[in-house]
Homo-oligomer: A and B are copies of this chain.
Amino acid sequence: MNLKELAGNLGLSQTTVSRALNGYPEVSEATRLRVAEAASRLGYRANASARRLATGRAGAFGMVLRTEAYGPHTVEFLGGLAERLFHDEVDILVSTVESAEEEAATYRRAAASKKVDAVILSSPYPDDARVHLLNDLGLPYLLHGRSEGAPPHAWLDIDNTGATERATNHLLDLGHRRIALVNGPKGMTFANHREDGYRAALTSRQIAPARSLIANTIFTDEMGFRTAQQMLERGEPPTAFVAGSMMTALGIFRAIRAAGLELGKDVSMIAHDDVFPYLNADNMVPSMSTTRSSIRAAGTRVGELLMQLLAGKSPADIHEVWPVDLVLRESTGPTPVK
């Protein structure tokens, strides 16, 4: 069932049918209804490729997953994004790549073959090479995160600096002095921001951040465990942890237990919570204090902002920093008296 058949069926021209279906004003309400009825009765839907060719719009956004960087966050983000895009019938194209070269090649392809109208970058670096590339290619894009050295671009980010600063400050208020930061991979903007916040809090109380209490790892249970275990074995172990993710937190938690310590009493922890449906800070035992910001909601908003970008809004006007909640639960307590 294509447009021609449908039009023939109705005794109308393709033009009119197309207009009726796409909500153009120059078609009478009566025919619009007739067309809509026939279309749904006959199960007609415009052929996506034909429409794309004719309009020049791909009706799809792209997202490249780097094998070393994707994890549970990704699906959660995608979920939010897809939810927003569903009603506009915009598709999401995902590709995975193994290297920066492959990633660049993927963007070039996508741009040249006009497969997508825009792409989403996540976990950027300051002055991210991909931003430069996409600018050169003229392919619209939006960063989930920021790339501060790079040319102006649209982005949505959470206030990592503020969140980490508040978390650290809270631990300081509780009397903690040796606070560990188990951060994300070195060099990424968000990890820098978190370290900034951490340092700011300590420095404001004249505490020198100890190099040995700062770790950069990927966000996994395993790395959390290893990192925390090493820190706890050392001479001056931390009495509190600021964890970069809930995965990391689970590993740190195991290490604390393995060291014979009790979370919330001997050692405190505040973890960053991206709000996974299957990993609830409230239901942990003890429940976990967190800096919380839904990554799913971010995905939804990114979809919204991308629609605005394509509608003509300037990238320079698309900047959004989301505040982060600090939710105190049982995993944080005063420094134990020795």
Interface residues of A (CB under 8 A from B): 1, 43-50, 52-53, 58, 60, 65, 67, 70-72, 74-75, 78-79, 82-83, 86, 89, 91-98, 102, 108-109, 112-115, 218-223, 225-226, 247, 250, 253-254, 257-258, 278-280, 283-285
Q: Which of A46, A75, A226 has the most CB atoms of chain B within a 10 A radius of its CB?
A: A75
Q: How far, in whole Å, are A112 and B74 apart by their CA atoms in the complex?
A: 29
Q: How far, in whole Å, are A177 and B50 apart by their CA atoms in the complex?
A: 63
Q: Do A45 and B113 touch (CB < 8 A)?
A: yes
CB distance from A174 to the nearest CB of B (A): 24
CB distance from A43 to the nearest CB of B (A): 6
Q: Do A95 and B82 touch (CB < 8 A)?
A: yes
Q: Do A47 and B225 touch (CB < 8 A)?
A: no
A-B contact pairs, 12 of them (CB 8 A): A1-B112, A49-B49, A49-B50, A52-B52, A67-B79, A72-B72, A75-B75, A83-B96, A222-B284, A225-B283, A226-B283, A254-B254
Q: Do B92 and A91 touch (CB < 8 A)?
A: no
Q: Which of A49, A58, A75 has the most CB atoms of chain B within a 10 A radius of its CB?
A: A49
Contacts of A96 on B, CB cut-off 8 Å? Answer: 78-79, 82-83, 86
Task: Knowing A65-B79, A220-B279, say if A94 contacts B95 (CB, 8 Å).
Answer: no
Q: Do A222 and B283 touch (CB < 8 A)?
A: yes
Contacts of A219 on B, CB cut-off 8 Å? Answer: 278
Q: How far, in whole Å, are A253 and B253 apart by their CA atoms in the complex?
A: 12
Add 17 more A-B contacts to A78-B96, A222-B279 (CB < 8 A): A43-B112, A44-B112, A47-B53, A48-B113, A49-B50, A65-B79, A71-B72, A75-B75, A78-B94, A82-B95, A86-B96, A86-B97, A92-B94, A218-B278, A223-B278, A225-B285, A258-B285
Task: Knowing A44-B112, A52-B49, A65-B75, say if A222 contacts B280 (CB, 8 Å).
Answer: yes
Q: How far, in whole Å, are A93 and B49 apart by their CA atoms in the complex?
A: 14
Contacts of A60 on B, CB cut-off 8 Å? Answer: 93
Q: How far, in whole Å, are A254 and B92 apart by their CA atoms in the complex?
A: 37
Contacts of A92 on B, CB cut-off 8 Å? Answer: 93-95
Which A-B residue pairs are the 7 nearest by beta carbons? A220-B278, A45-B112, A49-B52, A82-B96, A49-B53, A48-B113, A45-B113
Q: How far, in whole Å, are A180 and B21 apart by their CA atoms in the complex?
A: 57
Q: Do A48 and B91 touch (CB < 8 A)?
A: no
Contacts of A257 on B, CB cut-off 8 Å? Answer: 257
Q: Do B222 and A71 touch (CB < 8 A)?
A: no
Name which residue of chain B comes closest to A43, CB basis. B112
Contacts of A79 on B, CB cut-off 8 Å? Answer: 65, 67, 70, 96
Name which residue of chain B comes closest to A72, CB basis. B72
Q: Do B247 and A47 touch (CB < 8 A)?
A: no
Contacts of A114 on B, CB cut-off 8 Å? Answer: 47-49
Name which residue of chain B comes closest to A229, CB basis. B285
Q: How far, in whole Å, are A278 and B279 apart by their CA atoms in the complex?
A: 16
Contacts of A86 on B, CB cut-off 8 Å? Answer: 95-97, 102
CB distance from A98 to the nearest CB of B (A): 8
Task: Knowing A50-B53, A79-B65, A219-B278, say if A285 contacts B254 (CB, 8 Å).
Answer: yes
